Structure 1
């Protein structure tokens, strides 16, 4: 009798016997198939870290990954998950989708700052007038003022690209801190433009900051 057959008997009698949780089932059937975590990860098109997290009980796979596990091992989803675990899986999957959507929004907000290199939103004094010019049209300002402008816009733009590219990056620290770093960059930008008396840029970054905070609390 194979391990999978044993699991099926346990599942059928779960109301009488000790219930086997998903992570324990995954370890058993993976070893039954003679697969390492790396090999299973390759079959499921996920990272080895993801498989390790599932097997240690620190999380559940997405619904798509669960379907692949079911296909690879030839078992049904009902045989992999109990009722409570199915509810947890749906909740976790919805949470991941919400985080992905939030990361995309934050990434788009930050990537948008690329356009600020070229839009005429910087104030330049010309006699008694104040002209609206682009960043590279600012003339006669000191380097200690100009360089922070370039740095903060570059940082925001590059970080926005990272957020979009790494939205599915399976790293706990990245998932925990990426949006907060994005918010901090917006705060720094607001402060830089307020101190240097650039009200249009300060107001625009303040709006971006408010939108990010709204997204955080909305989630």
Structure 2
């Protein structure tokens, strides 16, 4: 949020209403000095009186936080921008961690029947039905959160996090399909072969990590470009 822009907007709306700073302050039970600090961007109205401020100025809370009038057709878009600004980048990354955990749990539940049944194609039994039902619920939740949480490009722009996710996904696949007792790649192999298999797995994991790292960097560049365009549009 831009306190100066919000302050100018408060002053503009107050003048449109034909009120002095003292009159607005009296209606809100604050001093004219407090109103002056709002309008110069030195402070921001207390959360407890935000609705009162908006009522007196005949604006919405979203318009106050955006520091401008919002047309009806752009209301949803502008409100989301305000929400993003109030959430903060750390919270957005926290949301992405939750989405990533759901994703890994989703993959685990899909693979779990294969591990239990010790077959590549799981048998259709209660375990399979329960696991896949839970996976379907998790998948729906994950899809809904990913679609509705703001700033998708930013949330997916942490290279280390995205690398860990894709390597963990690969690890779950290996545990479910490669290291099952009936199909264990290490069983019956010599020490040299086991070392070779381990090196191959590590190389694949490394390249998957690098791939995810690069994709995350691309998401960060797209997010930064988008922010630059928004800043240019605001300055015009």
What TM-score results when the alignment is normalised by the length of structure 1? Answer: 0.35
- If each structure's strand is expressed as a fraction of its own residues, which one has the higher value? 1
What TM-score results when the alignment is normalised by the length of structure 2? Answer: 0.33
- If each structure's helix is expressed as a fraction of its own residues, which one has the higher value? 2
